[in-house]
Structure 1
């Protein structure tokens, strides 16, 4: 229920502001607006205010602003000056682009509110290197301070995440990460595997800021650890006679021991105990690996040392919000472009089910998390609508640009053909996103 309500609120707010952009621009340009609708289908609720009918419809996947237009019905001669189709091409372009721009402005406002409330950031120190990951192969070590990713300087983990995500589809060239080791040496670590390879999707290369302790924080019921009697709170000491130094070392040993016995010494309530553990054998892209069904607790002291607070002024928060909106807009365009040319997986595409799920998760986390989610979706809606696909705002801008160049409108036949192509493309895009959602939902 939380996910559904959070999703409906998000769509309602974002669609309303998008259409409000069109509405305000149309009124400013002297165009008569007949209907302002949130949702599609037969109206559930309508109210007439002045010349405009305001409606709420049952299908919450968009909305529209219906303007006076001779292509959609007979217009009285006295209303010709207020018909959309009779406006100069410049005014029509302003009205069309106002919707996506309103979404981008809304994203700035949401980010501004979140940043102005203060930020919790994490220093760019590597806490854990995932065994057998591209980062592990490249030689990353716990304690490395990340200085730059692909030549772009980083100040905190948010910068690292964005930089890695931006490079997540550059499979043809290695990724160079500048680090400072715990000994103070500055060097380049080169990730030769593509960031999306070996299961490290969305730019993840196998480094995280969290450092894990050797104390178990979760034991999966029915897993190998549960079957031999390991419990939450147990602290691992040694395996096969070798003292364990880190959780990553233990994970590597388990991964390399599918079906093989491991003699484990651990601490429970101050008492040393010993048992023999046989990891389950699980198939992976690189062969069979071991798995015991247990997870560690985080090293609270390490994480506290990484965390710091930033409280910018109102002006600084506004500037940071603009920068974040711009960077996310550029990233969205790049990712979509890479998907089109086959450099990025279409599995990155999400539909309404995933969006509703994330809406619910962020709503439960608090207002700041939910506002950041709204800002990100608002950027996505703005950028998507600016793409040169007929039936979208960007498609209309494409027609009007052609009109400016050739000095006359694009023929109705060409526009009709474009609309059919655009509808087919958009329907395919939505269908693929929905299939991805269903696949994620059922673990496919």
Structure 2
């Protein structure tokens, strides 16, 4: 009897130990169901993906390729997204699975391509050979493209395509869009809505439109963020931001877009400045490949510069040239480095949009930190804000309009060859954090 009592006590302690463990959650698969706890604007609930049910905290916004959607509205429209590929990232705490981030795709990195068969001036659509109807975005360089409303459309003039067919050329009028033509080869990705594909990315791969002087357009291909983890058994992935410009005189600066947790206003914080690969290259390609270790943001801004001066301007079409806001489209949490030990939980402590919130929307609702927070040991202090008021900020939450606000996440599969690495000047605050991290790793592992 005594031995049985000891066994039960030890087993209870083991169960308690297991229950108190914090473990990472990474579930990727088809959306099956979603529920809301109540009718509050920032309500949480549950999500079911691949048979796994995970608890959704208050204040969570679902990430789409071009919008952040409140959980309540997502649940109300869940029938439109059942079966879509869903990524859930979080931690299991005391046996309770908690969500930190949810990303939605129809198919992750889904990409289609084809030649344009015809253009319809009347409804602004294009038909792809063996493909659906899609709207327009850019040429390979980031120069904006369009479907003309008629043969003399002043905001999409045929004269901005000086010859028929693919090729590289300088825009005759650099501050107005260039039209698509039958025969352009495009890559596109998006969501199906009925018989249509609503594209958030579309690029004419065989059309390279360059600009001269101080006019620059920017296109981003990738925003991948490797998340640091203080656990010495965690390995960080290198962050990567890859894009292109239309003017080979340009350099670019990469900024984190910090969000005021009360007002929702954004400010730019410099990460690095960089040139084009090889000084100049046929693609006008730039890359940032390095660790980013703290104060992660949902979106990053790239601004083009010539001779150290930012070159942004509003075009005849109302587009702001020379800058590009890139949502992080790939999140890579720190992964376990050494097997055979307890798993490394994910770290969200440096994501201020989760620990502090994203501020007021245009209805005056203040979106605070995730509650409950999906990580232990993180001090969460909701910001003390003045009386909330509506701001003249873009509303980022209506599923019915999210695709209309798409920021091009162009997946071009471009290869850059015969070039050398460009200069990269890292901001002092970032460089200090990288040096500190390297010193800590050397102290643990021994100097190389």
State the TM bucket, normalised to the shorter chain: under 0.3
TM-score (norm 1): 0.24
Which structure has the larger Rg?
Answer: 1
Between Structure 1 and Structure 2, which shows a larger proportion of helix residues? Answer: 1
